[in-house]
Amino acid sequence: MIYDKFENIGLYFDKSQPLGKAVDFAASFDKLQPDGRYEIDGEDIYALVMTYETKPVKMLKFESHKKYIDVQLLLEGQEYMDVSLEKDLVVDTLYSGKSDVALFARPQHSTSILLKPGNFAIVFPDDIHQPGRMVEQTEQVRKMVIKVCVQ
């Protein structure tokens, strides 16, 4: 996982790499565009822009992916993303290749990062994470998640 200010994102990837293409898309995205799916490179790289309400920790599950890297950026609002390095987690929902997600019960140990406009998190396959957690109270956020295929 990588967590940093958006202004530093270019330090991690060459523009010719798939993650570099994702970064270019994010940097040039017009925030006035509607929510939805945006094709960058077919099924290999695409962005999901969504608006939703953050939730209390008890209402959320941890998740991991196998096929896609997530580049997560908040366009409006703020949320916590909890992350864990634990590997022996209680599976809540088995991995689905169709949705590329497995869900887990909350691990014993986790760390919180604050996502807000101006920073980003890159979540690699098998990184255990829980996005969408409220900061002080529930709030509406607008988020972009760019999916970059690794298989």
This prediction's pTM: 0.93
Which tokens in the block code for residue 120?
A: 């980003």
Residue given tokens 């949320």 in the structure block: 79
Please give the pLDDT value at position 113.
97
How far apart (Å, rounded) are the C-alpha atoms in residues 143 and 133? 13
Residue given tokens 């634990």 in the structure block: 86
What's the number of domains the chain is made of?
A: 1
Q: Do residues 78 and 114 make contact, with C-beta atoms less than 8 angstroms apart?
A: yes
Domain span including residue 132: 2-149
For the segment 75-95, the average pLDDT, to the nearest whole number, is: 93
Position 57 confidence tier, pLDDT thresholds 50, 70, 90: very high
Please give the pLDDT value at position 43.
94
CATH number of the domain within which 138 lies: 2.60.120.370
